[in-house]
Amino acid sequence: MIRKVYINNIQSFLPNEPVENKDMEQVLGQVGSRPSRAKKLILRSNKIKQRYYAIDAQSGVTTHSNAELTAAAIKKLNSDTFNIKDTQVLACGTTIADQLLPNHALMVHGVLGIPSCEVVATAGICLSGTMSLKYGYMSVLSGQSDNAITTGSENASAMMRAKNFEAEVDAQVDQLDRQPEIAFEKDFLRWMLSDGAGAALLSSEPNEDSISLEIEWMMQKSYANELDACMYAGADKHENGSLQGWREYEPQQWLNQSIFSVKQDVKLLNDKIVEYTVEKPLEELVTSGKLDPESIDYFLPHYSSGYFRDKLYTGMQKVNCDIPQEKWFTNLTTKGNTGSASIYIMLAELFQSSKLKVGDKLLCYVPESGRFSTAFLQLKVV
């Protein structure tokens, strides 16, 4: 008998009350002597209306660490049919943990206080959450375990506060209307990234009295052999495309050169993101017969900004993977861009919406511009 793996529950945790666009700068803090001139342009392009921060809006005090956000999502998996104390595998992914060492998953285990189990952390940016899911999937699929909890989480606000940013350069802001891509600088990230966590319960048996999502296949591809790093932190990029890591700089340079801030190679991103995270992998999946676009009932794309939606669709059509936009499901507008947690937060909302019916097929897409990699995941409602 072929062993199968099911997502029997998926939950999300978003800290505090939603923050509207008009209140963002008050919560994160103002950079320099005047409000951001880029903010409205960036928000108009990314189409996000509200998001969540692990920050008390009145006092400015941090309310949750990354590990605490993750643990809060996991605790919501407790039910009449499953107790998180029975977890066999805990796999957690995040972009930037609360500390360099120990790893993020161990800190989550410590916050949860559940009994000893296998604990694994997956590194990366947006794909770190998808790869934690794949680790849990492979563990259950291989028979190494009967259940696994996997997570994706981000506490981006810790790096988005005003104290971490320099004042904007007027010349750059003036170019935003003509070149929206220029917004992918440090100020772009302040109005783009937000906090949240998601957790999935994987099992070798489906739910008896409610729907489950059978994992039909997962595919992940890296194109780091073809392209330079595009999104990076803790390093600086040289003209030849190579990165020089933080350990090669003096401590004062970390501050003066913003070594630890998240940076984006804007030109490389705009030139290659669709080709390498959409066209190349989808062409391979469709040509091989692994993916039949016409069989998909829901497409869940994680894109960082509404600016990329039509570009993504054009790339899909180019490689004969035309999934009409009326089949797309995203909550970017109301939940924000939560990086590695985004696909969990989307799936959780759809899973709990009562929209899904037995037999529906879902295709999930998660790109990562770190050094251009991508993941696709096909699920079936059972």
218 and 206, same structural domain?
no
Last residue within a domain, chosen from 184, 211, 238? 211
Integer Cα distance of 208 and 6 in angstroms: 12
Q: Residue 72's pLDDT is what?
A: 98
- Residues in CB range of 252: below 8 A, 6 or more apart: none
In this structure, the answer to whether residues 106 and 151 fall within a common structural domain is yes
Residue 282 lies in a domain: yes
Two tokens at 335? 């939940």
Q: Which residue from 340, 276, 287, 337 is spatially nearest to 312, judged by alpha carbons?
A: 276
Are both 39 and 23 inside the same structural domain? yes
The residue from 211, 231, 266 where one domain ends is 211
Question: 185, 211, 237: which is the final residue of a domain?
Answer: 211
Q: What is the pLDDT of residue 187?
A: 67
State the pairing for strand pair 243-245/235-237. Answer: antiparallel
State the distance between the two ends of the chain, measured CA to CA, in whole angstroms.
18
Number of structural domains the chain divides into: 2
User: Is residue 368 included in any domain, yes or no?
Assistant: yes
Question: What pLDDT was estimated at residue 173?
Answer: 55
One domain, residues 224 and 162? no
Q: Is residue 1 part of a domain?
A: no
- The verdict on residue 153 lying in a domain is yes
pTM: 0.93
Same domain for 224 and 355?
yes
- Cα–Cα nearest to 71, from 98, 103, 105, 97: 105
> CB of 98 within 8 A of CB of 155?
yes
| Whole-number Å distance between alpha carbons of 150 and 130 | 9
What pLDDT is recorded for position 182?
42
Contact 304, 321 (CB under 8 A): no
Question: Looking at the domain assignment, is residue 317 inside a domain?
Answer: yes
Residues 247 and 370 in one domain: yes
Distances (CA, A) of 13 to 16, 52, 335: 10, 10, 11
Give the per-residue pLDDT at 184: 42
- Model pLDDT, residue 208: 96
Q: What pLDDT tens digit does each residue of the chain (382 aa) get?
A: 789 999 999 999 999 999 999 999 999 988 777 788 778 888 998 999 999 999 999 999 999 999 999 999 999 999 999 999 999 999 999 999 999 999 999 999 999 999 999 999 999 999 999 999 999 999 999 999 999 999 999 999 998 887 776 544 444 555 555 554 444 456 677 888 999 999 999 999 999 999 999 999 999 999 999 999 999 999 999 999 999 999 999 998 887 777 888 888 878 988 999 999 999 999 999 999 999 999 999 999 999 889 899 999 999 999 999 999 999 999 999 999 999 999 999 999 999 999 999 999 999 999 999 999 999 999 999 9
Is residue 365 in a domain? yes
The SS3 call for residue 189 is helix
- Tell me which residue range forms the domain holding 297: 214-381
Residues 193 and 286 grouped into a single domain: no
Q: Tell me the C-alpha distance between 149 and 300, whole Å.
A: 21
My answer on whether 225 and 204 are in the same domain is: no
**One domain, residues 149 and 207:** yes
**Are residues 180 and 229 both part of a single domain?**
no
**Residue 247 CA, distance from chain mean position:** 27
Say if CB 63 and CB 225 are below 8 A apart.
no
Same domain, yes or no: 243 and 204 = no
pLDDT at site 186: 61
27 and 151 in a common domain:
yes
CA 242 to CA 147: how far, in whole Å? Answer: 41
Tell me the residue type at 15: P
Give the domain CATH number at 235. 3.40.47.10
Whether 93 is in a domain gets the answer yes
